[in-house]
């Protein structure tokens, strides 16, 4: 069993280059603030992991595990590694850290998710992010590759089941509204006109195909850090603070599946499946099975899911089992996904409301699951949340990781 001792998230509204900061500055801040927030010392950390997608492209910097050694002299000699799985990089870093703890190699791990994305022009950022697709083989006619890819997903839902744009905008409205509750959300101070969540070409312009501005997650500079511990280390942590071990949230289950990098190959393979992305569904069910909870949503109090675009969350709603396949619109119309609904989705604001520093997103999701299950989410706390599931996707669902966190 792996316990989550806490962590920290940066302000996702920040622009590091404008502030004269770089990756090393942001990394050091995350680790230092995270240690303070969790009540840990540098000497407590036995292993370090970094989730990052494209620092080489955005900042010309690789080998990010070496950033630990710049934070504090005690970290000189710390075993570290960097992990890449596109937008699921942070979750894959967490998986690696949990595997080390479960193997008995180490008792306490620091996992940092980090990405700098706002230091280049938008077109350059789009090209860098496009390296998570099958380079030279797909979406070659798109100016903005990922808005086009998830426009194709919306098309696929429309072909199979029918799709109304108002339902995609219902997702966007919920996530932007939730983001206003989150003091670290990139969009917390944004305001929108009456036509912003419609198919108005001025208020909500087309980006690619069916994807419009309000459908999109944000381009973000950001970090998140979590500290993971073995049961032995978590027990000592609890005893020192005079709290019960079972009050500390733990990773109760996990799911990790991969699919071919080609979007077209995935969709073709699912022609006879009830789900558009069967491997996403399998990862979700794997996590619930390992957690020992029901395969339906009855054992989940909230979800932090991957809404890089509204179409992605639309897919996630039915793959999570909140509705039957193709009926995600029912949950949106019923208010099931909103705060106070049957299954609040992205109470943090998600990637649309909070922001999406790619390598940090999976770590931020786990941190928010810890906040929810330890009653530390503040204004976006889901009342009574004791079990939260995350769903983190890399590429066109090429990599899917899901965690179930609870007390």
pLDDT digits (tens, 9 = 90+) for 38-53: 999 999 999 999 999 9
Q: Please count the helices (runs of H) and the strands (runs of E) in the chain.
A: 14, 11
Q: What is the pLDDT of residue 253?
A: 98
- List beta partners, residue 396: none
Q: Where are the beta strands (DSSP E) in 23-168?
A: 47-51, 80-83, 108-115
* C-alpha radius of gyration, the chain, whole number: 20
Supply the pLDDT for residue 271: 94
Report how far residue 15's alpha carbon sits from residue 58's, in angstroms, rounded to the nearest whole number: 13
Question: Quick one: average pLDDT of 121-137?
Answer: 96
Q: For the segment 5-37, what is each residue's pLDDT rounded down to a tens digit?
A: 999 999 999 999 999 999 999 999 999 999 999
Query: What is the pLDDT averaged over residues 333-349?
Result: 98
b/e map 257-274, b = 16+ CB within 10 Å: bbbebbbeebbeebeeee
Residue whose C-alpha is closest to residue 44's, from 98, 106, 101: 106
**CA 278/CA 283 separation, integer angstroms:** 9
What per-residue string of b and e applies to 202-225 under the rule 16 or more CB within 10 Å gives b? ebbeebbbbbbebbbbbbbbbbbb
Give the CB-side neighbour count of residue 213, counting CA atoms within 13 A: 12
Backbone phi and psi for residue 2, each to the nearest 5 degrees, phi listed first: -115, 130
Supply φ then ψ for residue 187, to 5 degrees: -105, 15
Q: Residue 119, Cβ neighbours under 10 Å: how many?
A: 16
Instruction: Give mean pLDDT, residues 372-386.
Output: 98
Beta strands in 259-331 (DSSP E): 302-305
What local confidence, expressed as pLDDT, does residue 267 receive? Answer: 97
- If you average pLDDT over residues 320-340, what whole number do you get? 98
Residue 359's pLDDT band, with cuts at 50, 70 and 90, is very high
Summary mean pLDDT of the chain: 98
For residue 235, the model assigns a pLDDT of: 98
Q: What is the structure's pLDDT at 26? A: 98
Contacts of 202 (CB under 8 A, 6+ apart): 195
Q: What is the pLDDT of residue 27?
A: 98
Count the residues in the chain. Answer: 407
Q: How confident is the model at residue 294 (pLDDT cuts 50, 70, 90)?
A: very high
User: What DSSP character marks residue 332?
Assistant: H
Distance CA 82, CA 50 (A): 5
Q: Residue 355 has what pLDDT?
A: 98
256 band by pLDDT with thresholds 50, 70 and 90: very high
HSE, side-chain direction, 13 A CA sphere, residue 45 = 34
C-alpha to C-alpha distance for 23 and 116, rounded to whole angstroms: 7
Average pLDDT rounded to a whole number, residues 187-192: 97
- Partners of 80 in the β-ladder: 48
């Amino acid at each position: 069993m792996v316990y989550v001792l806490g962590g920290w998230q940066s302000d996702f509204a920040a622009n590091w280059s404008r502030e004269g900061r770089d990756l090393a500055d942001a990394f050091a801040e995350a680790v230092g603030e995270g240690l303070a927030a969790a009540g840990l010392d540098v000497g407590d950390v036995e292993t370090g992991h970094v989730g990052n997608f494209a620092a080489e492209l955005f900042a010309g910097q690789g080998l990010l595990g070496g950033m630990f050694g710049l934070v504090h002299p005690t970290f000189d000699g710390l075993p570290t590694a960097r992990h890449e799985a596109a937008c699921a990089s942070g979750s894959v870093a967490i998986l690696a850290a949990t595997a080390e703890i479960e193997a008995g190699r180490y008792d306490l791990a620091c996992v940092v998710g980090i990405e700098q994305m706002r230091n280049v022009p938008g077109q350059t950022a789009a090209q860098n992010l496009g390296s998570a697709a099958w380079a030279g083989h797909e979406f070659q006619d798109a100016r903005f590759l990922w808005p086009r890819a998830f426009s194709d997903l919306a098309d696929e839902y429309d072909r199979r089941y029918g799709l109304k744009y108002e339902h995609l905008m219902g997702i966007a409205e919920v996530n932007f509204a939730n983001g206003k509750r989150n003091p670290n959300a990139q969009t917390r101070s944004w305001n929108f006109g009456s036509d912003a969540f419609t198919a108005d070409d001025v208020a909500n312009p087309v980006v690619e195909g069916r994807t419009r501005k309000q459908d999109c997650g944000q381009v973000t500079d950001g970090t998140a850090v979590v500290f993971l511990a073995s049961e032995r280390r978590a027990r000592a942590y609890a005893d020192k603070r005079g709290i019960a071990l079972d009050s500390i949230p733990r990773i109760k289950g996990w799911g990790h599946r991969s699919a071919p990098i080609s979007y077209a190959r995935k969709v073709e393979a699912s022609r006879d499946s009830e789900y558009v992305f069967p491997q996403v569904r399998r990862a979700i069910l794997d996590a619930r099975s390992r957690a020992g909870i029901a395969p339906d949503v009855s054992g989940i109090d909230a979800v932090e899911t991957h809404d890089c675009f509204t179409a992605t969350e639309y897919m996630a709603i039915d793959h999570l089992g909140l509705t039957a396949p193709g009926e995600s619109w029912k949950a949106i119309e019923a208010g099931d996904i909103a705060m106070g609904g049957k299954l609040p989705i992205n109470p943090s604001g998600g990637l649309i409301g909070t922001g999406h520093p790619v390598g940090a997103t999976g770590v931020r999701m786990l941190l928010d699951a810890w906040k929810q299950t330890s009653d530390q989410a503040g204004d976006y706390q889901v009342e009574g949340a004791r079990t939260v599931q995350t769903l983190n996707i890399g590429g066109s669902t090429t990599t899917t990781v899901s965690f179930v966190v609870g007390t």
